[in-house]
Structure 1
Amino acid sequence: MDFTISWIGALVGLAIVIILILKKLNPVYALFLGAIVGALIGGANLEQTVSLLVSGTQSVMGTVLRVLAAGVLAGVMMDSGAAETIAQAIVKKFGEGKAILALALATMIITAVGVFIPVAVLIVAPIALSVGNKMGISKIALLLALSGGGKAGNIISPNPNTIAAARGFDLDLSNVMIAGFIPAICGLIVTVIIASLLKHKGVKVTDEEAMNSAVDTSKYPPLKRAIVAPLIAVVLLMINPVGSLLGIDALSSFKVDAMFILPIAGVIGMLAMKQGNKILQYTTSGLNKMTPTVLILIGAGGIAGLISASDLSAQVVNIINATGISGTFLAPISGILMAAATASTSTGVILATGSFGEAILNMGTAPLAAAVMVHTGATVIDSLPQGNYFHVTAGSMNMSIKQRMGLIPYEAIVGATMTIVATLIYGFFI
């Protein structure tokens, strides 16, 4: 595109997106309408507006393909009961005495192996309600354990947000997953500490809620079979980076895209659980689960096209230069702002990489460092009420809107911890 949109149009477009989502309009249409109106206000004509939208949506097609491929693994883990088996095993291993750590770690691992974070929370929530009722732990502490653990797992997972961070800076998915490990561990630690401090604050789980949350685990696969799919995915994804790290050419030359690895791991895991006859059911379910995410990614591509065609990133860079702070902060700041605007980690990463990616790299930030800082930044305030995650997680713990709102500052602390750690490690130390 050989035209530039005014930064005012880009900001107006983002504002329209937020307002329309808060008004309960489908996020995909909200993103497209915001992009169209913002482009027109920013000075584009109708032909240029169409070109902007097409260019923006085309830029996310690589991410869309990988997200669809990840649907096979997600469908297997969710529909087979493998994710529930893993969660139950973790909580049982740690015991009720370490309930908060067990719940946070269970949600982290379930998310890290490819289950969407809202789904991971829904999977572990019945266990949390049961344990919370027995131990007298408040709902706010329980949900913080689930949400914080999920956020930690989300930045080291083969989920859409990590795929978007990797594709946004032309990196291998496995490298971005590994780079997020230390920030994720720090996020888990902070989650457990804060949730432990909150365990006697707020509403407790009633006996009725605990009874209604009981789950029949008799049809779940055994643990040794349930872990096959995620284990194969992790091993295959790690071969190349481990080979590069150890200087083993045979391993470092193994360059198979996640688009192939994740479906293969899902199919092998399905066979290991002796459920090969359900391949159509699981793959269809996985595709259905990924479809809303894919549509939102396409919509995000449209608004990213608007922002990248505008001079908004240049204006932000000018502000950073004027304040005298390091340009390294542009990466986490862009992730924080874009995820807050859309109340979505994956959409925030798409917008941040597509709109500010070039400016971030021009600041001298390395691609991997940029990806990790944008990615962790997108976890800070991504659970606002205009997003689906807010309402899904509130429903999982039978919390009111007011009660759920009270959790946002604590979730932000967890996300901010991971962002600060990532920025220190990759922005300044490495």
Structure 2
Amino acid sequence: MTVSWIGALVGLALAIILILYKLNPVYALMLGAVIGALIGGASLSQTVEIVVTGTQSVMGTVVRVLAAGVLAGVMMESGAANTIARAIVDSLGERLALFSLALSAMIITQVGVFIAVTVIILAPIALEVGERMHLSKVALLVALSGGGKAGNIISPNPNTIAAARGFNLELSQLMIADFIPALFGLAATVILATLLKHRGEIASRRDLEAIETPELTNLPSLKSALVAPIVAIVLLLINPIGSLLHIALLTKFQVDAMYILPLAGVIGALAMGKGRDLMAYASSGMERMTDVVLILIGAGAIGGLITSSTLPAEVVKLVQHSGISGVFLAPIAGILMAGATASTSTGVILATGSFSKSILAFGVAPIGAAVMIHTGATVIDELPHGNYFHATGAAMNMSFKQRMATIPYEAAVGLTMTIVGTIMFGFIFK
């Protein structure tokens, strides 16, 4: 069954409008898929098949995301993320305050903590530093959010898993490929935050008193806190390093992230002496992943609609007639889909599910397509119709207007990574 491209566009537009009107994103995406399929010419039974097929296509990602919840739960609930963040900020000192905050956000997100949670964890530290150094809250949030974006594209988080699985790649392959764009993102973050350090309202004691800062006790040592992320990174990199160095023994280590990430979480909890709390950490991680999984299912449904329609073929024709390189379809798809849903993970799922075949048809390599979609999805994923905008604004005690002021600078960080990724994998290493 092939659905008309008009139905696919109507379904996608309806889903976006419903999300903007605060309908639960899962229902918005699924309703858009159903209405779009019916308008596109599908029967009731065919519509069910389109939705079911679409949701089935994301089940591999869902399983890996749930597995990643163990590592995320251990890092967040044990206090390991806080320990690592404090160590980075303290070691670099106040002279490099904005760099230390951006680097902390990058590393904490890179080891598997959600970017929004990273900002919430680091917000009290940032406000403390900001008060002492007389730094603006805009600069502080740009440092945290930009650093988090850089870490997010090289992390075992749901968005990276979704981008890798969308093109049948290993998670570690994409994390390695995204590393240089991430470094450029970190550099752009520090430059922008430095330029903004005296613009806008200066952080004060009132901001610290206004936000909820949970009392953290019995934090693990830095050495034990680093065990879980180090184990995860080492195990994920064994196979790519073996391929790079042509070491046959290492290339035979083909263990999926579904095994590696929970294992790293378990080893990390034991190293911190918190084995008794492992079940609680896993439960907390699972709860945090539930919303992500549901949104992935909704995104899979509307992705099934678009994949079943003539829309991708029409987009290819449009790009061909416009005269621009087909390479640009990948970053544009990532930017638009993430901006429409105000979510990196959902944007990646929609972009890969809807346009992967069209992008590959232009001769783009799978790894290049994944990098360009993934980095593109970080450009305008912080828009007000998403949770990230509000959660991070509240963490920094910012008004709606103040939070809006940071969006262009956050987008500039994402755009920097997108440009670097597109140049590298769209034109140099294509």
The TM-score normalised by the length of structure 2 is 0.98
Q: Distance in 1 between matches of 2:173 and 2:263?
A: 20
Report what 2:247 is aligned to: 248
Q: Residue 219 of structure 2: SS of its match in structure 1? A: coil
Partner of 2:175: 177
Q: Which residue of 1 aligns with 2:269?
A: 270
Superposition deviation, residue 194 in structure 1: 0.6
Quick one: distance in 1 between partners of 2:99 and 2:382?
A: 21
Tell whether the 8 Å contact from 2:210 to 2:397 is kept in structure 1 after alignment: no
2:92 alignment counterpart: 94
Q: Deviation at 1:208?
A: 2.0
Give the Å deviation of 1:24: 1.4
Q: Please give the secondary structure, in 2, of the residue aligned with 1:407.
A: helix
Q: Does 1:130 align with 2:128?
A: yes
Report the equivalent of 2:283. 284
Contact 2:130/2:204, CA 8 A, preserved across alignment: no
> Which amino acid letter does the alignment assign opposite residue 63 of structure 2?
L
**Following TM superposition, by how much is the alpha carbon of 1:125 offset from its aligned partner in structure 2, in angstroms?**
0.7
Query: How big is the shift at 1:7?
Result: 1.6
1:413 is aligned to 412
Higher mean displacement: 53-62 or 18-27: 18-27
Identity over aligned residues, as a percent? 67
Given that 1:228 and 1:269 are in contact with CA atoms closer than 8 Å, whether structure 2 keeps it comes out as: yes
2:32 paired residue among 31, 34, 54:
34
**Alpha-carbon distance in 1 for matches of 2:198, 2:17:** 36
1:193-212 counterparts in 2 under 5 A? 193-211=191-209
Q: What is the Cα deviation at residue 210 of structure 1? A: 2.9
Unaligned regions of 5+ residues in structure 2, if any? Answer: none
SS at match of 1:409: helix
Judge conservation of contact 2:102–2:186 (CA < 8 Å) in 1.
yes
Equivalent position amino acid for 2:49 in 1: S
**Contact 2:70/2:282 (8 A) holds in 1:** yes
Deviations 1:30-70 (A, max 9, x none): 11111111111122121111111000000000000000000
Q: Secondary structure at the match of 1:148?
A: helix
Partner AA of 2:52 in structure 1: V
| Structure 1 residue 216 displacement after superposition | 4.4
Partner of 1:60: 58
Which residue identity does 2:324 align to in structure 1?
Answer: I
With the length of structure 1 as denominator, give the TM-score of the two structures. 0.98
Q: Which amino acid aligns with 1:206?
A: S
Q: Is the contact between residue 347 and residue 377 of structure 2 (CA under 8 Å) also seen in structure 1?
A: yes
Q: Which amino acid aligns with 1:22?
A: L
Residue type matched to 1:115 in 2? V
- Letter matched to residue 32 of structure 1: M
Q: Distance in 2 between matches of 1:78 and 1:245?
A: 33
Q: What pairs with 1:268-347 in structure 2 (closer than 5 Å)?
A: 268-347=267-346
**CA offset digits 1:314-370 (Å, max 9, x no partner):** 121111111111111111111111111111000000011111011111110111111
Q: Which moved more, 1:7-16 or 1:320-329?
A: 7-16
Name the residue aligned to 2:377.
378
Matches within 5 A, 1:67-82: 67-82=65-80
The DSSP-based 3-state class of the residue aligned with 1:187 is helix
Corresponding pairs, count: 428
1:219 partnered with 2:221: no
SS of 1:221's equivalent? coil
CA–CA separation in structure 1 for the residues paired with 2:285 and 2:319: 42
Name the residue aligned to 1:158.
156
In the alignment, residue 352 of structure 1 is paired with which amino acid? A
Distance 1:320 1:184 in 2: 28
- Partner of residue 259, structure 1: 258
CA drift at 1:218:
4.2
CA distance in 2, matches of 1:87, 1:20: 38
Letter in 2 for 1:188: L
Cα deviations by residue, 1:288-334 (Å, 9 ceiling, x for unpaired)? 11111000000110010111111111121111111111111111111
Q: Secondary structure at the match of 1:72?
A: helix
- Measure how far apart 1:215 and its partner are: 6.1
SS of the residue aligned with 1:171?
A: coil
One-letter code of the match for 1:130?
Answer: E
Post-superposition Cα deviations, 1:131-169, rounded to whole Å, max 9, x if no partner, equal: 111111111110000110000000000000000011000
Do 2:372 and 2:418's aligned partners in 1 also have CA atoms closer than 8 Å? yes
> Hey, what's the Cα distance between the residues in 2 that align with 1:215 and 1:308?
45
Question: Corresponding residue for 2:235?
Answer: 236
Return 5+ residue gaps in structure 1 as ranges.
none
Contact 1:14–1:341 (CA<8 Å) still a contact in 2? no
Q: Does 1:393 align with 2:376?
A: no
Q: Are the counterparts in 2 of residues 133 and 210 from structure 1 also a CA contact under 8 Å?
A: no
In the other structure, the counterpart of 2:115 is 117
| Secondary structure of 2:255's aligned partner | coil
